[in-house]
Structure 1
Amino acid sequence: MKKIGITGQNGFVGSYLFNSISLLSEEFTLIPFSRSYFDSEAQLTDWVKQCDVIVHLAAMNRDPDPQLIHDTNLGLVQQLVNALSKAGNHPHVIFSSSTQEERDNLYGKSKKGGRELLLKWAADHGANFTGMVIPNVFGPFGKPFYNSVVATFCHQLCNGQTPKIDQDGFLKLIHVDELATLVIDAIRTGNNQQDFPITPTAELYVSEILSKLTAFKELYLEQGIIPALPDKFSIHLFNTFRSYIDHKSYFPFKLKQHADNRGVFVEMVKLQVGGQVSFSTTHAGITRGNHFHTRKIERFLVIKGKALIQLRKYNTSEVLNFELDGNEPSYVDMPVWYTHNIKNIGEEELYTVFWINEFFDPQDPDTYFETV
């Protein structure tokens, strides 16, 4: 069982990779990292000694002072090299560089210089080294105005702001889940490729990205309609957009009831995409669920009875509670990486309708059990 350490494990890519590896606990052991280790040579060296594989992600991406970015990033790599030399073991090192290596800027130079420093250490010690050259990364929970323009646009659109395009550049993108999969593959195979260009999975102009995200806002956020999602990139982009919604204030989404002398008619789900619709009845006091998905889009609609829907982001402690009543039909959508459940808190039978955007596949269920 390989022991894996990730510098920058609390950052955007680092936390996603950490969580993804934690789901493979029968194959890997995670050696937790703290940013404070870079302030203590002894602690950093002790951490290095425990690792069979080190994924070096810690870096500064943005700052008003480009020289500070350059010096910080090279300094972190040099500290890691010093700790590796002192530790005496020779773990497989995976380094996240950037396609900005090709550009004449200090950030790109810091990435290229860091890759070369680690390559020299690996060559001198007979260690495996993977130098990943990575395009723009996007995905849920990225930091706006820092990690990517996708994160910035999503944050602005979900908070009533108007995004602006300074330069309509052509972006090469990869989703954070796809990148995590490539890193895990490199860990498994012991990839020893010093210059490993990561192929982007989507290429769009900034204006095209904003157009797609604006359509998500108009359809989903304002009308509750699940938009057409014709390919994997669209699903990734939509799940990224959904992660920036303030669930506390947006859900439960109340549905309009059309009542007359015959009874009540309610439009439950409006779709531009397929999937599967199911329903359940739940006895009083019973809880269903306690699992999460990493790619699926799911909606819970309560049409009769009283329910408590709970959500908690994986590896965090805050629990979101939503009470729904069938007398006022409403729904809650499940964000990716949020474990969720539904409990009958009333005295009568609970009727719930579920929609999910793909059929259940026992060979690829994308369902991870975790108590809220």
Structure 2
Amino acid sequence: MLKVGITGQSGFIGYHLTQYLRLHMDEVEIVPFDPSYFQDQDNLMRFVQQCDAVVHLAAMNRGSEDEVYATNIRLVEQLIRALEDAGHAPHVIFSSSTQEERDNAYGRSKREGARLLAAWAERNNARYTSLVIPNVFGPFGRPFYNSVVATFCHQLTHHQEPEIKVDASLPLIYVQDLAREIFEVIRGAYDLPAVCLDATAERKVSDILARLQEFKGRYLDQHIIPDLNGPFDTALFNTFRSFIESDHFPVYPEVHTDDRGYLTEVLKERSGGQVFFSVTKPGITRGNHFHMRKIERFCVIQGEALIRLRRIGADQTIEYHVHGSKPSFVDIPIYYTHNITNIGTTDVLTLFWTNELFDPADPDTFYEGV
């Protein structure tokens, strides 16, 4: 059992890495980290003493040139001092960047940080890996800070107009792919001092924006699941969905009524998948699990139910009270554990759609109570 500590555990990459490692608790134990440790050298020393591996993610991405450089170097130097004071030499994994070749404060700080940690490793005969990482995108990124993808997603879902400042071609890595690569480094897959990670895809900024605008037009405005052409499209769509405010749901589609009864369109989609239904007895709860990639839609067409969601790692619960007499649908974001409870006196009939066929060997279903 490897004890793994993550500096910057509460940040964008740190959150995703933590959730990924939680799925592999038979191999790793996560040593809790708090940002205040960098304000108390003794606490930082006690933290590293517990670790077999330290993933150093803590860094400043945006700010004045002097502040970015000074902050990132200070964090590396504090980590080294804690390691030396502890007399302990865990495997240190440093998150560097493809920007380390550029002459900007962030790039220089990553280049110098890698040099300082490599020198520490050589002095202490320790294992050290520098990961050269492309531009990272994924759910819950911080707009105007983590990536242009996060900024565009936030703007498009909050009635703002995105602007392209430089239409560069960006090598992009999906944060789940990055978390998986870091886990492989922790497990010893790479015996190299520096590893350049491959991008998930490369796209021009204008192409990214155009695709996200299509998601907005199809999904937010017309309630159509767009055509998703492969894993990158699905990752980008799930990233986009993570920026939609919870009060967007439930959505009440138009009901067409005549003397025969009524009809309503529950799902319009362009990406395949499967449809299924369940019957739930009064007082019964189904679910209590989350998905890492699946897109899923719930529609109660009979009975009264409560759909509850909670983002993994958070305490706040979202609730949707739905009834078959007023058809509506709720889409389930990734990383949100969810369940549905029959709160009425008759059976609840729920229609489900997911964008991929169920695979018992890879169900993408992880159990955790809401």
The aligned residue for residue 148 of structure 1 is: 147
Query: What does residue range 170-189 of structure 1 map to in structure 2 within 5 Å?
Result: 170-189=169-188
Q: CA deviation at 1:86?
A: 1.2
Does the CA contact (< 8 Å) of 1:255 and 1:328 recur in 2?
no
Query: What does residue range 15-26 of structure 1 map to in structure 2 within 5 Å?
Result: 15-26=15-26
For residues 303 and 194 of structure 2, the distance between their equivalents in structure 1, rounded to whole angstroms, comes to 59
For residues 189 and 20 of structure 2, the distance between their equivalents in structure 1, rounded to whole angstroms, comes to 18
For residues 125 and 80 of structure 1, the distance between their equivalents in structure 2, rounded to whole angstroms, comes to 14
For residues 97 and 21 of structure 1, the distance between their equivalents in structure 2, rounded to whole angstroms, comes to 20
Query: What does residue range 218-367 of structure 1 map to in structure 2 within 5 Å?
Result: 218-247=217-246, 249-367=247-365
Q: Which amino acid aligns with 2:85?
A: K
Unaligned runs of 5+ in 2: none
For residues 235 and 329 of structure 1, the distance between their equivalents in structure 2, rounded to whole angstroms, comes to 27
> Secondary structure at the residue paired with 2:322?
strand
> Secondary structure at the residue paired with 1:168?
coil
For residues 202 and 134 of structure 2, the distance between their equivalents in structure 1, rounded to whole angstroms, comes to 10
> Secondary structure at the residue paired with 1:253?
coil
Q: CA deviation at 1:195?
A: 2.0
Q: What does the per-residue CA deviation read over 1:104-136, in whole Å, with 9 as the maximum and x for residues that have no partner?
A: 111100001001111111111111111001010
> Secondary structure at the residue paired with 1:365?
coil
Q: Which amino acid aligns with 1:97?
A: S
The aligned residue for residue 11 of structure 1 is: 11
> Secondary structure at the residue paired with 1:81?
helix
> Secondary structure at the residue paired with 1:189?
coil
Q: Which amino acid aligns with 1:159?
A: H
Does the CA contact (< 8 Å) of 1:97 and 1:115 recur in 2?
yes
The aligned residue for residue 27 of structure 2 is: 27
Q: CA deviation at 1:191?
A: 3.1
For residues 86 and 223 of structure 2, the distance between their equivalents in structure 1, rounded to whole angstroms, comes to 55
Q: What does the per-residue CA deviation read over 1:192-224, in whole Å, with 9 as the maximum and x for residues that have no partner?
A: 322211111111110000000000000000111
Percent sequence identity over aligned pairs: 53
> Secondary structure at the residue paired with 1:303?
strand
Q: Which amino acid aligns with 2:51?
A: C
Q: CA deviation at 1:345?
A: 1.0
Query: What does residue range 181-200 of structure 1 map to in structure 2 within 5 Å?
Result: 181-189=180-188, 191-200=190-199
The aligned residue for residue 62 of structure 1 is: 62
Q: Which amino acid aligns with 2:41?
A: E
Unaligned runs of 5+ in 1: none
Does the CA contact (< 8 Å) of 1:92 and 1:190 recur in 2?
no
> Secondary structure at the residue paired with 1:152?
helix
Q: CA deviation at 1:346?
A: 1.2
> Secondary structure at the residue paired with 1:228?
coil
- Pair 1:95-2:97 in alignment: no
For residues 279 and 125 of structure 1, the distance between their equivalents in structure 2, rounded to whole angstroms, comes to 59
Q: CA deviation at 1:40?
A: 1.2
Q: What does the per-residue CA deviation read over 1:27-69, in whole Å, with 9 as the maximum and x for residues that have no partner?
A: 1111001111111111111111100000000000001x11110
The aligned residue for residue 110 of structure 2 is: 111
> Secondary structure at the residue paired with 1:330?
coil
The aligned residue for residue 168 of structure 1 is: 167
Does the CA contact (< 8 Å) of 1:298 and 1:333 recur in 2?
yes
> Secondary structure at the residue paired with 2:227?
coil
Deviates more, 1:186-195 or 1:225-234: 186-195
For residues 192 and 209 of structure 2, the distance between their equivalents in structure 1, rounded to whole angstroms, comes to 35
Q: CA deviation at 1:251?
A: 0.5
For residues 142 and 294 of structure 1, the distance between their equivalents in structure 2, rounded to whole angstroms, comes to 16
- Pair 1:43-2:39 in alignment: no
Q: CA deviation at 1:22?
A: 1.4
Q: CA deviation at 1:190?
A: 6.0
